[in-house]
Amino acid sequence: MEGFSESALRALAGPRSFERGRGYLDAVSGVEVGDGWVTASVHGTERYEVELTLDGPGGLSGHCDCPYGMEGNFCKHLVALGLTVLAEWESLPRQRKAARDRAQDLDGWLSGLSKDALLILVREQIAEDRQLRRRLELQAASARGDLATVRARIRELLDVSPFAQYGYVAYADARAYADQAEQAVSAIGALTGPGRAEDAIPLAREAMKLLADAVENVDDSDGWLGQVGADLAHVHLEACRAARPDLEELARWLVGHALGDADDGLTDIDPLDYEEILGEDGMAVLWKLAVEAWRGNRGGWAEKYLMERLAKAGGDVDAVIAVHAADLSPNGHTHLVIAHELDTARRPDEALRWAERGIQETRDLAAVDTAVVDYLCDRYTQADRLLDAVALRRDHFRARRTLLPYQQLRAAAWAADCWPGEREEALILLRADAGQRRQPWCSGRVLIDALLDDKDLDAAWQAATDIGADDHQWLTLADQARPTRPADALRVYHRLAEALTKETGNAIYEQLAGLLLSIRDCHHRLDTRDEFTTYLTALRAGQKRKRNLMRLLDQHGL
């Protein structure tokens, strides 16, 4: 019971639900303490059943059947029960011991009953509990191999109708439906034990289809049906292991399932899990069927994935490459995937050729997958082909004239000791773009960003003056120029600050305060502190209604 405290309840519920839970202490009734759990009824809008797990795998947790609790929340009713338990904390160990004793007594009593007495007891429970009766009927049908009854009961268990309002199972009822669906999975699995595994296989496949249909009408936000599907896949695998079905039929079904032919995609089945069952002959059939499917639809995602998966599992790199090569993307990405596969197979020369094909076969270098360019430049650099790396970076920059290709060209050219000449040509292009402005990236913005990135402040300032710049660039220019050109920087700061005084909002006020600090620094450098005092006084007078701004300026000593 470590970690069970008021602070733990508050952390689970949140402050609001915790405080509301305090008001429900008098509504808690019928508290029952078990070994590690406590249950009770809490009377709210309706009577809700509440259960706290005191020391489960995840620590303190709880469940309530109120609408808020059914959404997975730790509600006020759980808080009320938790506070009630804490109020009687000293007696809790004694109550838990009493619960264990009762459980042992019950087990001892049941063990001592005769078969006839047990049957009477079970029959009484069956008469009172419809769900128990249905579960036992299903188990009995499975045990005697009554497939017609088992199939009918499985269809009933997977039917969403009893849980659906207006044809849809809401989140609050999804767990209950999933629990019922698990009963169907258990019944199919039970057939494997008594030697009826060959019957379990078709039942499992039918259940997969029913489950796939059901999930379309269930809010499975918590993934309960996904777990049912995984359990169903395991049951099918175990049934196949036990029954040893016809290999060709199994291979054909596995391929159909992988390609979505059976429309039961909720059940994720990996054909390679059946490799031991299929053996060499069955895997050959599986491969043949996969190849036929892929050749019939080379662009199909499922066909490509299945072929790639089987080829990789068999270590057939050439088959993997053939799958990718049959559907090459126009931007070179698939060429790079092939290159990586060849690198893994330690065939670097072929890998390089495929990557180079990716560049050559890309119609528009501006749209190329930049990872292909990066891969090739890395390979060229490793091979001391520095000029080849520069040439590729140059071509990429010319096709897509943005800051990043410019930076990459600079890095490659520095390594090859040819940056001055490359820079001059690159800046000529950017200046031409700034004059023409034909494309979104063909503007003065890239030129100014490039000059700033080169730490060429004077050229960047001149370009901004000649062709214009956006506010962010002017702010960067002013920040960098302030130590040496405070008067120029001051004019920029004043213009930007004037625009911000017409806006509101805390984020705006933060920006304005930052600009005022920069303006003050410029006046200090220019030895015009009195001018700043006059400017700030006028600004505060004009903005005095903005209380948050005034408070922020005070905090910054402005």
Residue 330 CB neighbour total at 10 angstroms: 13
> What DSSP line would sit under 462-522, residue for residue?
HHHHHH---HHHHHHHHHHHTTT-HHHHHHHHHHHHHHHTT--SHHHHHHHHHHHHHHHHH
> What DSSP line would sit under 62-86, residue for residue?
EEE-SHHHHTT---HHHHHHHHHHH
Write the burial class of residue 94 (CB in 10 Å: 0-12 exposed, 13-18 middle, 19+ buried): exposed
Query: Nearest CA to 380 among 370, 393, 368?
Result: 393
Helices (H) and strands (E) in the chain, counts: 28, 4
Quote the CA–CA distance of 153 and 392 in Å, as a whole number.
67
Query: Nearest CA to 535 among 507, 504, 558?
Result: 558
Distances (CA, A) of 19 to 78, 86, 150, 217: 12, 16, 51, 37
3 backbone φψ class: left, alpha, beta (φ>0; ψ -120 to 50) = left
Contact 332, 361 (CB under 8 A): yes
Residue 283's pLDDT is: 92
Residue 442's pLDDT is: 46
Residue 441's pLDDT is: 43
Q: Which helix (H) or strand (E) holds 38?
A: strand 37-43
Quote the CA–CA distance of 554 and 509 in Å, as a whole number.
12
Quote the CA–CA distance of 92 and 102 in Å, as a whole number.
15
Query: Nearest CA to 239 among 280, 208, 284?
Result: 208
- Residue 130's identity, in one-letter code, is R
Contact 153, 138 (CB under 8 A): yes
Quote the CA–CA distance of 160 and 220 in Å, as a whole number.
13
- Residue 439's identity, in one-letter code, is Q
- Residue 39's identity, in one-letter code, is T
Question: pTM score, two decimals?
Answer: 0.65
How is residue 125 written in tokens? 């429970």
- Residue 34's identity, in one-letter code, is G
Q: What is the pLDDT along the chain (558 residues), one digit of tens a residue?
A: 556 788 888 988 898 999 999 989 888 888 888 877 888 899 877 888 899 887 766 678 888 888 888 777 889 999 999 998 888 877 777 777 777 777 787 788 888 888 888 888 878 887 887 777 777 777 777 777 777 888 888 898 888 888 887 778 887 788 888 888 888 898 888 888 667 888 889 999 999 999 988 888 888 887 888 888 899 999 999 999 998 889 999 999 999 988 886 555 567 788 999 999 999 999 999 999 999 989 888 888 888 888 888 988 888 999 999 989 988 899 999 999 999 999 999 999 999 999 999 999 988 888 999 999 999 999 999 999 999 999 999 999 999 999 999 999 999 999 999 999 999 999 999 998 887 754 444 456 899 999 999 999 999 999 999 888 889 999 999 999 999 999 999 999 999 999 999 998 999 999 999 999 999 999 999 999 999 999 999 999 999 999 999 999 999 998
Contact 214, 167 (CB under 8 A): no
Q: Decide: helix, strand or coil at residue 260.
A: coil
Distances (CA, A) of 412 to 317, 362, 415: 33, 22, 5
Quote the CA–CA distance of 286 and 263 in Å, as a whole number.
19
Q: Output 241-249 pairs: Cβ under 8 A, ≥24 positions apart.
A: 241/197, 241/276, 241/277, 242/192, 242/197, 243/197, 243/198, 243/200, 243/201, 244/277, 245/198, 245/201, 247/278, 247/279, 247/281, 247/282, 247/285, 248/282, 248/285
Residue 466 CB neighbour total at 10 angstroms: 13
258 alpha carbon, distance to own chain's centre: 23
